[in-house]
Every structure is written in C-alpha cells, then in structure tokens.
Amino acid sequence: MPANIPPPATTSPDTAFLRLLNVLDTLRTQCPWDKKQTMETLRHLTIEETYELSDAILEGDMQEIKKELGDLMMHLVFYARIGSETNDFDITDVLNGVCDKLINRHPHIYGDVEVNDEDDVKRNWEKIKLKEGNKSVLGGVPAGLPALVKASRIQEKARGVGFDWDEKEQVWAKVEEELQEFKDEFNIAENENIDKEKAEGEFGDLLFSLVNYARFI
C-alpha cells in the first residue's frame, strides 16, 4: 500500500480540527490497532490521559498541558468516530450538543436572567439540569469516581443549591457526632459483637463528614 500523504499543519482552529478528523479517519480505516479499538478498550486509556493532564496542570507545565490536551482531544474524536460507525452519533452531534447545553445553562448570557455572582450561576446551572430531566442535583456525579473525589463532588453540588453548613464549627460538630457513632459500633472491648456492615456504614459517614470539613480548611 502506498504511503499516505499527511495533511499539513494549519494555523486556524477550524482547519486544525478538520486535520485531526482526517488523521483519525485514516488511522481508523488503515491502522490494525486503531481498527480494533472500541469504546470499552479506550475507556481506561482515556482515564489515564485525564490523570496525566491533571498532573501537568498541578506542575504548571504549559507545554505538557498542551500535549495532554491534544491526547484527550484525540480520544474524544475517536469516540465520536466509533459512534458514527453505528449511526448513534457523530462529531457534529457531539459539538452541537455541548453548544446547546452551554447556551441553555447560561440564561444570564443568552437570555434575560440576572445574576449577582458565581454562586447564582451555579444555582441556576443545577436548577436547569433538574428541568432537563435529571432526577437529582447529584445525578451528574459519576459513579466511577474515586470514593473521596466523589464525596467532595457531591458536597460541592449540594452547596451549589444552598444545602450547606454556614460555619466550619457546625461541620466539625458533625465530624465529632459521626466519630462517636463509629466508636459506638466499633466497640473494641466487645469485638465479637461488632456488626461489620453497620461499622462500615458509620466509618463511611465519618469519612464523608471529614471530606466536607476539608472544604473549610
């Protein structure tokens, strides 16, 4: 098979994106590895790339951030390409979908809603999500998040709709309450009588309250 002529680099965002689509289309049809990939096989690689981007951000390495953003962009285009092969969605659907969502959830920009600060924006965002069919303000927290990260995101979302403590002293009182409940279940002196399921539940409550307190530090 003759070698493909690579599409040249470009200086505008729209043609640069078309270049990526072109490269992905070629790889998907001609590269043995790319042809075998599915959404499931890409999933763990996407998670890995996301953590690599996170590391680059924490290190403040702008060149590495640029590189990792490119890797993630490639993954997003790859998923859209796979979706198009089953006629479920394509990259146009993905881009229009996110644009529609952003427009709808920013009525203070694209409508006549007035806001005073970023907290108003967050509250409106969560209320609009509920109107769009989400059963709970917590519905957008992925089940697959690491446990402590998930706990933090749940608390952030609850705060976004006004469900939060006013003072950190109140949060600490909750930590002490959960600690006592955990001690009551995990009675070392009567180890044989421990209800492990209850003890685990109380320990989870304690961790959850500690994560919440960490937001006030």
CATH assignment of the domain containing 57: 1.10.287.1080
Kindly tell me if the per-residue pLDDT of 77 is higher than 80. Answer: yes
Q: Is residue 182 part of a domain?
A: yes
Please say which residue of 73, 91, 109 terminates a domain.
Answer: 91
Token code pair at residue 81: 């390409």
Q: Side-chain half-sphere of 216: how many Cα atoms within 13 Å? A: 15
- What is the rounded distance in angstroms from the CA atom of residue 16 to the CA atom of residue 21? 9
Kindly report the CA angle at 188 between 183 and 193, in degrees rounded to 5?
95
Residue 43 included in any domain:
yes
Radius of gyration of the chain (CA): 24
Length of the chain: 217
Amino acid identity of residue 144, one-letter, is G
Q: Which of 38, 57, 91 is the C-terminal boundary of a domain? A: 91
Indicate whether 121 belongs to any domain. Answer: no
Whether residue 108 is contained in a domain is answered as no
115 domain residue, yes or no: no
∠ CA 153-158-160, rounded to 5°: 95
Q: What is the pLDDT of residues 190-204, one digit of tens each?
A: 556 667 777 788 888
More confident residue, 160 or 216: 216
Structure tokens at 176: 């002490």
- Tens of pLDDT, residue by residue over 5-58, are 888 899 999 999 999 999 999 999 999 999 999 999 999 999 999 999 999 999
Distance (Å, whole) CA 9 – CA 206: 54
Residue 62 to residues 66, 86, 118, Cα–Cα distance (Å): 6, 37, 27
Of the pLDDT bands very low, low, confident and very high (cuts 50, 70, 90), residue 189 is: low
Which pLDDT tens digit goes with each residue over 15-25? 999 999 999 99
Mean pLDDT of the chain: 86
Tally the domains of the chain. Answer: 2
Last residue of a domain, one of 76, 91, 106: 91
Per-residue pLDDT tens digits for 121-173: 988 888 888 788 765 655 667 777 777 777 777 777 666 655 566 678 888 88
Give the range of the structural domain holding residue 76, as residue numbers without chain letter.
Answer: 13-91
